[in-house]
Structure 1
Amino acid sequence: MKAPTISAWFGRGEITAPTDIESAALRSDRFRLEREYDWRRLEDIVARMERGGVRKIDDEELLALPTLYRTAASSLSVARETSLDAATLSYLESLVQRAWFQVYGPRKGLFGWLREFFFGGWSRAVREIWLDVCIALFVMTAGALVGWLLVAQNTDWYYRLVPGGLAGGRVPGASREMLLETIEQENSTGGLSVFAAYLFSNNAGVCILAFALGFAFGIPSLMLLIHNMAMLGAMVWLFAGADLGWEFAAWLSVHGTTELFGILLSGAAGLHIGRSMAFPGTRTILEAASESGRRSAIVMVGVVLMMVVAALLEAFPRQLVGGMESRFVIGGAFLAFWLAYFFLYRPHRLEEEA
C-alpha cells in the first residue's frame, strides 16, 4: 500500500488511502511523537516551579524554560490550525497557560508582594533615590527659610502664603493667648474621625501632585515643595514671635515628622523621574523614565501609607495629647522609626534568601 504524502497529512489534495479518519489520526500521532519529549520536559519544569519556585530547578533548566515555552506555544498554534485531536489540543492549552505564568507572569501573590514591600522593598527604593531625597530636603529647608524671611520683612506676605481656611485665628496681630488656644488639647473625640479622613485626603493630594509633576524634569515638584514649606516657615515665624516657638514645634511634631517625611519622599520621587529624563545617560529617555518610574511608584505606595498614619496622628494624638514633652516624645519616636526603617534597616532580598 502506498504511504500517504505530506499533502495528505495536512489535508491538502485528494486522499486515496488510508481513509480520512485514519489519516487524521496518523497526523495527530506523528505530531505528538515528534514534540512530546519537549512538552514533557516543559511540564516537569513547570510542575516543580509551581511547587517551590525557581530554587526547584537548576541553571540549565532555567535557561531552557523560555525556549521550551515558545516550542509549546508554537505547537499549540499548529494544533489549532490543523484541527488535531481534542485531547492533544486541551493538553497543550493547559501546558502553555501554566508555563506562561512561570515565564512572564507575576512571581508572587499579594501577600508575597506585601511581605517584600514592607520587609525591604520600600526602604530599598527610598535609599536608591537618596540623591533626590537630599535635593528635596535642601529645597524644603530653603522654602521654610524663604517663608520666614518674606513674612519678617512684610507681614502682608503671610496672607499670600497661608490660606485663610488654614490660618483660622493664627494671623499676625493675634494675642499670645489666642495663638496658644489654637494648639491646645481638645476635650473630646467628637468629629475627629471625619477630620482624619479630610486630612488624609488633603495630605495625600499634595504628595501625589508633587510626584505627578515630576515628569516636567522635576521643576514643578520642587516649586510645590518650596510653596508648602514657605507656608510652614511663615507660621513658625508667627508663633516664634509670640514666644510660642517650642509649643508650636511640639504640636506640629506629633504628625509633622511623618507628614513632612512623606512630602519629602513624594517630592524626591517626582524629582527622580524628572532628573532621569533630563539626564538619561546611555539609556533612551523612555527607558530612563520607565526604570525611575517603577522605583518611584514603590516609594509612593509607601507615602500614601505614611499619609494615613499622619492623618490619624493629626486627628487624634495631636488633638488629645497635652503637654509639650508628651507631644515631642510622640513626634520624635515616629521620626526615629522612619529614619531607622529607611536608612538602617537593610535586610537581604527575599529572592536571595530563597
Structure 2
Amino acid sequence: MKEIVFIKRNSEKWKKIEDALNGHVRISPDELYNLYVGLNDDYSYARTFYPTGESSAYLNQLTIRVHQQIYRNKKIKKNQFAQFWKTDYPLLLYKNQKYFWYAFTIFVLSILIGVVSTAADPDFPRLILGDSYVNMTLDNIESGDPMAVYKKAQEMDMFLGITINNIRVAFYAFIAGVLFSFGSGLILLSNGIMLGCFQYFFYQHGLLGESILTIYIHGTLELFSIVMAGAAGLAIGNSILFPGTYKRLVSFQRGAVIGLKMVSGVVPLFIVAGFLEGFITRHTEFPNSIRITIIVASLAFIVWYFFRYPKTIHLKLSSNGKDF
C-alpha cells in the first residue's frame, strides 16, 4: 500500500484522536484506550513500511500524546460508577443497538418456530421441554394449580439458584459469540423455540392468559436480558467477521470490550428477575391488576432505559457539540 493511501484511509480516525486530545470532542476513557490500541497498530505498520515517511513521525508523536493522556487520567473518579449507568452504558447501547435488533429478530423467529412446531406435532413439547416437565405440568393442570412449579422451592433458594443460573446462561451466550456469532445465535434459537413451545402448550390447554400473567412477572426482564446477552455475543462475532480497517485481533479486542459491557449491564436485571421469580411469581392468587402492573412497569423500564434514554443522551451530547 502506498503511504498516501495509508494516510487517506486512516486520517479521519487520527483526526478524531487529535480532536479529543485538544478538547474539541469528548470521548470516554475506554474509547480513548481502544483508539490508542488501533493507533499503536497503525504506528507499527508505518514504522515497518514507511520508516522515513511523514506518517511514521506523525504517528509517533500522536501515540506519545495519547499515552500521556491515558496515564494522566488513570486515577478512577469517585463518580465513575454512577457515570457508567447514567451516560457511558446508555451511549454504548445507542451506538451498538443494531446487535440487539439482530438478536431480537433471531429470538422472535425462534419463538415462531416453537409455536408452529408445537401446533403441528403434539409431542414436540416432550422433545423440547422433556417428559418429566410435561407430565408434571399436566398433573398440576389437573389439580387446578397449573403454575405450581414456581411454588415448590423455598423463596431464597429459588431466588439464588435462578439468578446464578440465568447470569451463567447470559455469559455463555456472550462468550459463544467467539464462534463467529454462530454460538450466540444457537443459544437464542434454543431459548426462543423453548419459549414458543412452552407458551403454545399452555394455549392448547386454555391457559395462555394465566401463563402470561404468571411467567412474565419475572420473564419480561429475564427474556430481555437473555436477548441482550445474545446481542453482546453477536458484537464479538461481528468484530471477528468484519474487522474493517483494524487488524482482526484488534477488532476482536474492541468487540470483546463492547460485548462484555453490554452483558454486564443486564446483570442487575437478572438479579431483579430472580427476586421476582423467587418471591412474587409464586403468588398466583395475587389480583390480576397487581400482576399486570409489575409486567407493564418492567416493560416500561426496558423501553425507557435501553431505548429512549440512550437516544436522549446521544441527542443532548450531539447538540452540545460533543461526541462519544
TM-score, normalised to structure 2's length?
0.70
**Taking structure 1 as reference, are residues 106 and 248 closer, same or farther at Cα in structure 2, changes over 3 Å only?**
farther
Match of 2:202 among 233, 239, 246: 239
* CA positional deviation for 1:162: 1.1
- Deviation per residue, 1:252-286 (Å, 9 max, x gap): 11111100110010000100110121111222111
Question: Which stretch of structure 1 is more off in the superposition, 204-213 or 177-186?
Answer: 177-186
CA distance in 2, matches of 1:196, 1:274: 32
5+ residue gaps, structure 1, are 1-56, 60-99
2:301 alignment partner in structure 1: 337
Match of 1:282 among 237, 245, 252: 245
Match of 1:182 among 115, 125, 147: 147
Larger Rg computed on CA atoms = 1
* CA positional deviation for 1:330: 0.1
2:222 alignment partner in structure 1: 259
**Equivalences, count:** 253
**Taking structure 1 as reference, are residues 155 and 120 closer, same or farther at Cα in structure 2, changes over 3 Å only?**
same
- The answer to whether structure 1 residue 155 and structure 2 residue 122 are counterparts is yes
**Taking structure 1 as reference, are residues 105 and 331 closer, same or farther at Cα in structure 2, changes over 3 Å only?**
farther
CA distance in 2, matches of 1:197, 1:166: 21
**Taking structure 1 as reference, are residues 268 and 165 closer, same or farther at Cα in structure 2, changes over 3 Å only?**
farther
1:316 alignment partner in structure 2: 279
CA distance in 2, matches of 1:219, 1:245: 32
Match of 1:307 among 267, 270, 273: 270
Match of 1:226 among 189, 203, 213: 189
* CA positional deviation for 1:240: 0.6
* CA positional deviation for 1:325: 2.9
- Deviation per residue, 1:59-83 (Å, 9 max, x gap): 7xxxxxxxxxxxxxxxxxxxxxxxx
- Deviation per residue, 1:161-203 (Å, 9 max, x gap): 11456556225xx5744474325996x9x82011100001111
- Deviation per residue, 1:14-37 (Å, 9 max, x gap): xxxxxxxxxxxxxxxxxxxxxxxx
* CA positional deviation for 1:310: 0.9
Q: Root-mean-square deviation (CA), in Å?
A: 3.0
* CA positional deviation for 1:139: 0.7
5+ residue gaps, structure 2, are 1-20, 24-66
CA distance in 1, matches of 2:149, 2:288: 10
**Taking structure 1 as reference, are residues 103 and 278 closer, same or farther at Cα in structure 2, changes over 3 Å only?**
closer
* Aligned partner letter, 1:160: L
CA distance in 2, matches of 1:101, 1:166: 60
Match of 1:137 among 83, 93, 104: 104
1:109 alignment partner in structure 2: 76
- The answer to whether structure 1 residue 295 and structure 2 residue 255 are counterparts is no
CA distance in 1, matches of 2:130, 2:265: 28
* CA positional deviation for 1:241: 0.9
2:155 alignment partner in structure 1: 192
Structure 1 moving runs of 4+ over 6 Å = none
* CA positional deviation for 1:331: 1.2
- The answer to whether structure 1 residue 118 and structure 2 residue 85 are counterparts is yes
CA distance in 1, matches of 2:236, 2:103: 13
Q: Mapping of 1:33-112 within 5 angstroms? A: 103-104=70-71, 107=74, 109=76, 111-112=78-79
- RCO greater where, 1 or 2, for CA within 8 Å and sep 6 or more? 2
CA distance in 2, matches of 1:278, 1:103: 29
- Deviation per residue, 1:143-168 (Å, 9 max, x gap): 11111222222233212211456556
TM-score, normalised to structure 1's length?
0.64
Preserved contact between residue 140 and residue 147 of structure 2 (Cα < 8 Å): no
CA distance in 2, matches of 1:166, 1:119: 42
**Taking structure 1 as reference, are residues 273 and 234 closer, same or farther at Cα in structure 2, changes over 3 Å only?**
same
The percent of aligned pairs where both chains have the same amino acid is 25
* Aligned partner letter, 2:232: A
Preserved contact between residue 143 and residue 225 of structure 1 (Cα < 8 Å): yes
